[in-house]
């Protein structure tokens, strides 16, 4: 459940007309009140009537909300407080009574309408869709004092976390615990208007992750980004100008109205894509010696000679890594498995929006640590998996029927890693990450392996049955914790 505190405004009537109107794209269906302030009376008497032209007349409701502001002792410049609360797409549809309770709890939590306070601010909750409501309040109490709503964003988040548990809804990560950045509404709207398949931030994050998996070091990483058409801007130390401390990336066709490139820092795209974390990843992976390419044309698969039995070896490494899973090694092993999935998605999914891409992102979220713990000893399989991920990303599709079978084993072994990680995160009370890990396991268990070169790829929408000779790693295979 996501509460979004919108910028404060001055015209409550204009906001109500929008909420009770058809919406920008006719998306508002059956707008109606589900809750209001204490002593407001029956909701039916507050409901804006429908005019002859079919529009709702919000003047009476506007006057009622503005009355405390008119009589306020020292009202603020921006008197309108607006918050929208949206459930997760996988959640069930809540009733109006349930939404009314949620609205009251959030208004009390942010301090605008504490329970039992009959002189609090006036507010209403409007519902015009199944999955969300809008809270509208005026920031002057009915005793003429101004309501300041200190720390309303944090308090609304805390209230929603408790309401998620009470109603059995999808558990969202707490603020600041995310592993990646998300496109803002303006970027999403621009993406839809221009007909792009994904927001530039999403495209860049996928490209950076795939390139980081393929690259053998920092110089190779930036060279491959340039070869892929990604604009790169390096950040240098103020004390030592020759030292690179960070980087930002952009797309040539993603600019401001003035024509300037829009840049995204690596750490803003995803926490593990910052330059310090990428350097730690490359330092911990056993790299095959690869010369730095002289130009973009030299960056090709011939940097890695063919590897017979690559998918079989990777599947074996994934199975052995699953046997090492415990609370201390989970982050490294699951992160390396996410790299393998990213490489496989790059090699097998031409549209880059398939189930492997989604599973890699879900597993990456589940493996994320906000505060990086000390590296666990003897996590050799994590480095081995990352090395094999490079080979998969440059080798492309499978070339033999035996590779197809091995690829299926690889995917199922990584699904087992995801299930183990889900158990670990659940024991750690990190339920949002446990859900992400189980979502990755579900996607992988239904994934169809790639076809070998020269044959059409099977549909990825059907499920595959595990071969009789396949033996999934069990809990007894793992080391004692």
For the sheet with 32-36, list strands across it: 2-5, 80-86, 132-138, 123-127, 32-36
Report pLDDT digits (tens) over 448-457: 765 554 333 3
CB-CB contact of 365 with 179 (8 Å): yes
Residues 173-193 have a mean pLDDT of: 69
Rounded CA-CA distance 310/292 in Å is 24
Report pLDDT digits (tens) over 196-213: 778 888 889 888 888 888
137: part of which helix (H) or strand (E)? strand 132-138
Greater confidence, 415 or 462?
Answer: 415
Greater confidence, 430 or 424?
Answer: 424
Which of 2-6, 116-120, 183-187 has the lowest average pLDDT?
183-187
Q: Considering only CA atoms, give the Rg of the chain.
A: 27
Residues 281-295 have a mean pLDDT of: 54
Residues 391-418 have a mean pLDDT of: 76
> By 3-state DSSP, what share of the chain in percent is helix, strand and coil, each rounded to 5?
45, 10, 45
User: What pLDDT sits at residue 382?
Assistant: 74
Rounded CA-CA distance 58/367 in Å is 49
Spatial neighbors of 115 by CB under 8 A, at least 6 apart, are: 104, 108
Domains and CATH numbers, the chain: 2-167 (3.30.930), 198-297 (no CATH), 304-477 (no CATH)
In order of 124, 138, 142, the CA distances from 61 in angstroms are: 9, 12, 16
Q: What angle do CA 385, 388, 390 make, to 5 degrees?
A: 115
Instruction: Say whether pLDDT at 417 is over 80.
Output: yes
DSSP 8-class letter at 175: T
Q: What angle do CA 291, 295, 299 make, to 5 degrees?
A: 60
DSSP 3-state of 146: strand
Largest CA-CA distance found in the chain, in angstroms, rounded: 81
Report the candidate in 450, 437, 449 with the shortest Cα–Cα distance to residue 412: 449
pLDDT grade, residue 377 (50/70/90)? Answer: very low
Report pLDDT digits (tens) over 10-68: 999 999 999 999 988 778 999 999 999 999 999 999 999 999 998 999 999 999 999 99
Report the candidate in 474, 137, 123, 122 with the shortest Cα–Cα distance to residue 319: 474
Mean pLDDT across the chain: 81
Spatial neighbors of 291 by CB under 8 A, at least 6 apart, are: 303
Greater confidence, 128 or 386?
Answer: 128
pLDDT grade, residue 481 (50/70/90)? Answer: very low
- CA 299 to mean position of chain CA atoms: 31
Report the candidate in 127, 133, 17, 13 with the shortest Cα–Cα distance to residue 69: 13
Burial 105-134 (b: 16+ CB within 10 A, else e): bbbbbbbbbeeebeebbbbbbbbbeeebbb
Q: Phi/psi at 155 (nearest 5 deg)?
A: -70, -35
Report pLDDT digits (tens) over 214-253: 788 898 899 989 988 899 999 988 888 888 999 999 998 8
Q: Phi/psi at 34 (nearest 5 deg)?
A: -120, -15
> DSSP characters for 99-117?
HHHHHHHHHHHTTSS-TT-
CB-CB contact of 281 with 289 (8 Å): no
């Amino acid at each position: 459940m996501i509460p979004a505190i919108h910028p404060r405004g001055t015209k409550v009537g204009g906001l109500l007309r929008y909420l009770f109107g058809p919406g920008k794209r006719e998306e508002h269906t059956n707008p109606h009140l589900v809750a209001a302030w204490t002593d407001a009376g029956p909701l039916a008497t507050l409901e804006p009537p429908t005019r002859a032209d079919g529009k709702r007349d919000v003047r009476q409701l506007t006057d009622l909300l503005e009355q405390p502001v008119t009589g306020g002792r020292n009202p603020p410049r921006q008197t309108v407080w607006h918050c929208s609360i949206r459930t997760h797409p996988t959640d069930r549809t809540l009733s109006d009574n349930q939404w009314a309770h949620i609205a009251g709890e959030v208004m009390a939590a942010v301090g605008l309408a504490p329970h039992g306070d009959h002189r609090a601010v006036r507010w209403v909750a409007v519902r015009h869709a199944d999955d969300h409501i809008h809270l509208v309040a005026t920031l002057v109490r009915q005793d003429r004092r101004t309501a300041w709503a200190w720390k309303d964003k944090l308090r609304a988040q805390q209230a929603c976390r408790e309401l998620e548990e009470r109603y059995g809804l999808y558990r969202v990560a707490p603020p600041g615990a995310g592993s990646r950045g998300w496109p803002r509404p303006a970027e999403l709207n621009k993406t839809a208007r221009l007909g792009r398949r994904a927001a530039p931030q999403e495209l860049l994050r996928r490209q950076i992750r795939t390139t980081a998996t393929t690259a053998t070091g920092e110089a190779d990483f930036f060279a491959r980004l340039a070869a892929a058409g990604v604009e790169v801007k390096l950040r240098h130390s103020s004390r030592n100008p020759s030292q690179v401390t960070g980087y930002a990336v952009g797309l040539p066709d993603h600019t401001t109205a003035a024509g300037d490139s829009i840049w995204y820092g690596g750490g803003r795209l995803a926490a593990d894509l910052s330059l310090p974390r990428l350097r730690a990843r490359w330092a911990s992976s056993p790299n095959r010696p690869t010369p730095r390419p002289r130009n973009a044309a030299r960056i090709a698969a011939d940097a890695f000679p063919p590897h017979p039995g690559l998918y079989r070896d990777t599947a074996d490494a994934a199975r052995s890594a699953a046997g090492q899973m415990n609370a201390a090694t989970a982050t490294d092993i699951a992160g390396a498995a996410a790299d393998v999935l990213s490489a496989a998605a790059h090699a097998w999914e031409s549209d880059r929006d398939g189930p492997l891409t989604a599973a890699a992102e879900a597993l990456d979220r589940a493996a994320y640590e906000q505060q990086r713990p000390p590296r666990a000893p003897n996590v050799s399989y994590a480095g081995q998996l990352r090395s094999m991920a490079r080979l998969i990303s440059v080798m492309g599709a499978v070339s033999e029927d035996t590779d197809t079978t091995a690829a299926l084993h690889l995917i199922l072994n990584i699904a087992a890693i995801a299930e183990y990680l889900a158990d670990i995160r659940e024991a750690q009370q990190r339920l949002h990450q446990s859900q992400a890990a189980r979502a990755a396991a579900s996607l992988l268990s239904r994934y169809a392996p790639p076809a070998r070169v020269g044959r059409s790829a099977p549909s990825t929408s059907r499920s595959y049955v595990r071969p009789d000779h396949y033996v999934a790693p069990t809990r007894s295979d793992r080391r004692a914790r």
